[in-house]
Amino acid sequence: MADKSIIGADLGATTFPVERGKIREFANAILDDNPVYQGDDPVAPPTFTMTTAFWPRSSDTPLPDLGLNYARVLHGEQEFEYLKPLKPGDTLTGRTKISDVYEKEGKRGGTMKFIVSETSFTNQDGDTAIIARQVLVETSKAAS
Amino acid sequence: MERQETYFEDVQEGDGAPAWQLENVTRTHFVKYAGASGDFNPMHHDDTVATKVGYPSVFGHGMFTAGVLSHYVTDWVGVGNVRKFRVRFTGQVYPGDTLSFSGTVTKKYKEGDESRIDADLAVANQDGKVILSGSTTAALPSRG
């Protein structure tokens, strides 16, 4: 059964500067040659905050053990809501919480466990700049 | 897609974004995305690990495809104009695949002082299988 006790769990926060070189590198990786990303005054591409997904996080509380087999974890869904543009020089703090956990019978990978998390990115002025929602799926066999 | 200026007045519900294809996806695309995003899950660069758990080969990060899709969207609606971006992953992208990107306007409306559109998005492979479906909300400039 899906462990509902982790709903609401704090997965910690990470603070990072929005850097021009990283914007350029990320735009290159998504095959975007738009000159705006190469210039003096770029904005961050829409999915740019994914670059912080693997940064170390600090948490006021112990990080929960999500009990996942990461060899079977797929990215199911991702959603972004943009409230403020991201520019080099901004400092963002992203705080992530588990917002839902549930199970479904799937066609592609047997019984699937869904873990929904939400990350709220706040800028240096204290304004929420981006809200990201992610659904991870743990499959019981390799998805086809 | 060629970058274009899309004005609110010129867009109707049901209109499509110009079709665009990414031919012959390579492992280098995945490795470049791994480096830029920091996502070094071996499923995306190590065939030995990917085949061991039952995949035919490495496959792309969902967020690589989503990132290229966001590039397709910003070529259409303009960098800085995306207000929401949502993707659901429905299949894997393998080396050698050719991806077809499409978008269709589902709604046009005013929100506060912005002229917005909602659009459905899809990415299909060379077999016509949709491997990503999504949606976006964008604020478009007005001719007025």
CATH value at residue B73: 3.10.129.10
Indicate the Cα dihedral angle A117, A122, A123, A128, nearest 10°: 110
Is residue B44, in this structure, part of any structural domain at all?
yes
Picking from A63-72, A80-89, B82-91, B116-125, which range would have the lowest pLDDT averaged per residue?
A63-72
The shortest CB-CB distance from B3 to any of A34, A79, A85 is to A34
Identity of the residue numbered A30: I
Q: Do B84 and A79 touch (CB under 8 A)?
A: yes
Q: What is the rounded distance in angstroms from the CA atom of residue A115 to the CA atom of residue A102?
A: 7
- Which domains, from first to last, does chain A contain? 4-18+58-139 (3.10.129.10)
Q: Which of B25, B70, B72, B133 to mutate to test the interface with A (most CBs of A within 10 A)?
A: B70
In order along its 144 residues, chain B shows pLDDT tens digits of 788 899 999 999 999 999 999 999 999 999 999 999 999 999 999 999 999 989 999 999 999 999 999 999 999 999 999 999 999 999 999 999 999 999 999 999 999 999 999 999 999 999 999 999 999 999 999 987
Q: Which residues contact A113 (CB under 8 A, 6 or more apart)?
A: A2, A68, A101, A102, A103, A137, A138
Residues in A touching B32 (Cβ below 8 Å): 28-29
Is residue B66, in this structure, part of any structural domain at all?
yes
Is residue B1, in this structure, part of any structural domain at all?
no
For residue B41, give the nearest of A74, A51, A134 by alpha carbon.
Answer: A74
Is residue B102, in this structure, part of any structural domain at all?
yes
- Is A1 a residue whose pLDDT tops 60? no
Is residue B2, in this structure, part of any structural domain at all?
no
Number of domains comprising chain B: 1
- Interface ipTM: 0.96
Is residue B22, in this structure, part of any structural domain at all?
yes
Mean pLDDT in residue range A8-14: 92
Print the domain residue range for B104. Answer: 8-140
Global confidence as pTM: 0.94
Q: Do A82 and B83 touch (CB under 8 A)?
A: yes
